[in-house]
């Protein structure tokens, strides 16, 4: 029983550390936090963020707020909850990829100043997410959870499958936490269970549940592979870009359903 309590305490501390690392959600000060394993909790943090956004969306729906305004507010809340962490990475990545000289890309990405291509990437992401959400009228709370979850699983995939391009940086600790495909299984099973919930609750939505799983895996795999192809590996910025583009494209794929 003692070992079980220690394991449970460790999981709780890892979860608290992940919430602090990936969000701006205020938590009480906790001693003994270790941030080296936060990447293992990323899909769960995504579900937490998506759940908060879903609850806010439901509350706004009861207040009679139109779906376009709700969608824009939900997307804005997503940025606020994460402190713009992943969006900033997507912007820096876009600026880096715009450089013709591959040798200078990492240097440009490390620059805190946002360039024209970074701004355009941010605008594109916000437009895609907002318009896609506007077209999704049912099961929005569950789809928001799935989108945020698959985005973070895509980050895990990029960490596990591709080299890290910098000797130091925030993203370096993730490479130590996720080193094999086995480390991807807990998050994958968790996200499949979210679609399974849709499958069980709504008989008429069983095809959508299947689409969510296939789309999540396919888009997360494609985005992480694409950035690796362009840069020869990943950085903390591209991890954020994988999260953002996976979320946006996932929502776009679900609009016909």
**138 or 48, greater pLDDT:** 48
pLDDT in tens, 49-80: 999 999 999 999 999 999 999 999 999 999 99
**110 or 125, greater pLDDT:** 125
Nearby residues of 140 by Cβ (< 8 Å), 6 or more positions away: 54, 57, 58, 133
Question: Is the predicted pLDDT of residue 216 greater than 90, yes or no?
Answer: yes
Residue 80 CA, chain-centre distance (Å), reads: 14
Instruction: Say what the pLDDT of residue 18 is.
Output: 94
Q: What is the CA radius of gyration of the chain?
A: 18
Instruction: Say what the pLDDT of residue 4 is.
Output: 66
Instruction: Say what the pLDDT of residue 74 is.
Output: 98
Question: Is the predicted pLDDT of residue 169 greater than 70, yes or no?
Answer: no
- Decide: helix, strand or coil at residue 137: coil
pTM, entire model:
0.95
DSSP state letter for 234: B
Instruction: Say what the pLDDT of residue 173 is.
Output: 84
Instruction: Say what the pLDDT of residue 193 is.
Output: 92
- Is 37 within 8 Å of 16 (Cβ atoms)? no
Instruction: Say what the pLDDT of residue 16 is.
Output: 92
């Amino acid at each position: 029983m003692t070992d079980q309590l220690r394991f449970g305490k460790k999981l709780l501390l890892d979860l608290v550390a992940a919430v602090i690392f990936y969000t701006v959600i205020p938590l009480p000060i906790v001693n003994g936090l270790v941030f080296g394993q936060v990447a293992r909790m990323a899909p769960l943090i995504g579900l937490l963020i998506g759940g908060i956004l879903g609850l806010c969306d439901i509350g706004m729906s009861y207040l009679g707020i139109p779906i376009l305004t709700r969608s824009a507010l939900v997307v804005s809340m997503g940025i606020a909850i994460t402190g713009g962490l992943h969006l900033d990475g997507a912007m820096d990545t876009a600026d880096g990829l715009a450089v013709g000289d591959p040798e200078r890309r990492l240097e440009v990405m490390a620059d805190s100043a946002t360039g024209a291509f970074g701004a355009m990437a941010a605008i594109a992401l916000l437009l895609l997410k907002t318009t896609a959400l506007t077209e999704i009228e049912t099961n929005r709370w569950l789809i928001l959870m799935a989108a945020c979850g698959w985005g973070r699983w895509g980050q895990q995939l990029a960490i596990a499958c591709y080299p890290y391009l910098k000797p130091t940086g925030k993203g370096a600790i993730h490479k130590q936490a996720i080193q094999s495909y086995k480390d991807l299984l807990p998050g994958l099973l968790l996200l499949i269970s979210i679609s399974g919930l849709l499958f069980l609750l709504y008989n008429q939505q069983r095809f959508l549940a299947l689409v969510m799983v296939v789309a999540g895996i396919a888009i997360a795999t494609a985005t992480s592979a694409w950035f690796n192809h362009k840069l020869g590996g990943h950085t903390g910025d591209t991890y954020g870009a994988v999260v953002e583009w996976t979320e946006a494209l996932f929502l776009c794929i679900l609009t016909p359903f």
